[in-house]
Amino acid sequence: MKSLHTALTLVLLSLGTVAFAQSDAQESFDKMKTLAGSWEGKVTTVPQQPDIDGKPMKVVLRVTSMGHTLMHEATGADRPDDPITMFVVDGDRLLLTHYCDADNRPRMVGKMSPDGKTVEFEFLDVSGNLQYGHMQHAVFTFLDTNHHIEDWTFVVEKKQGPMPVHAHFDLQRTN
């Protein structure tokens, strides 16, 4: 009987842990959904990427799929592409899938900081063409309801090893 009680206790503790993890992923996703709307700002890159550095960017975030998905679309001046990023809660994880103009699809797992001011996404895996590199990391920083920052890291494989390119978007809400 004691082993049944111990087993039941372990099951209940496990369920509590899963419920907490799900609520953490959902809380992070709910925070991301507050960004729904249109945004404009400039991008800064390190090392400098002349084709986008200092140029205006537009970002549109839209809640879709009956509230279960957040779509992020970025467009820049003089660029024909508009990479799409999708955010969803998958079990106990907040997942980001980036549909990159480099013809690949990296996935990252997000977690909100204890102070609730940032959601940081760590690399999980990637599929598709890796010839030109892939997104590796992303951080969304919430400054106020009309101002947020996005920091994206793209990794290009070079002969001397991986070279990260950081893009910093300082965005103001336009609606």
Q: How many CB atoms lie within 10 A of CB 63?
A: 17
106 closest CA partner among 81, 131, 136, 82: 136
pLDDT attached to residue 1: 54
pLDDT attached to residue 12: 40
Q: The pTM is what?
A: 0.86
Specify the number of domains making up the chain: 1
The pLDDT tens digits along the chain (175 residues) read 565 454 444 444 444 444 444 589 999 999 999 999 999 999 999 999 998 899 999 999 999 999 999 999 999 867 777 899 999 999 999 999 999 989 999 999 999 999 999 999 999 999 999 999 999 999 999 999 999 999 999 999 888 889 999 999 999 999 9
C-beta of residue 149 within 8 angstroms of C-beta of residue 169: yes
147 closest CA partner among 167, 169, 125, 124: 169
How far from each other are the two terminal CA atoms of the chain, in whole angstroms?
62
pLDDT attached to residue 2: 60
Place of tokens 């030109």: 132
138 closest CA partner among 115, 111, 163: 111
* Distances 23 to 29, 35, 56, 163 between C-alpha atoms, Å: 10, 19, 36, 36
Per the structure, the complete domain to which residue 121 belongs is given by 2-173
CATH of the domain at 9: 2.40.128.20
pLDDT attached to residue 78: 75
Amino acid code (one letter) for 110: G
* Distances 82 to 66, 74, 116 between C-alpha atoms, Å: 23, 5, 29
pLDDT attached to residue 3: 55
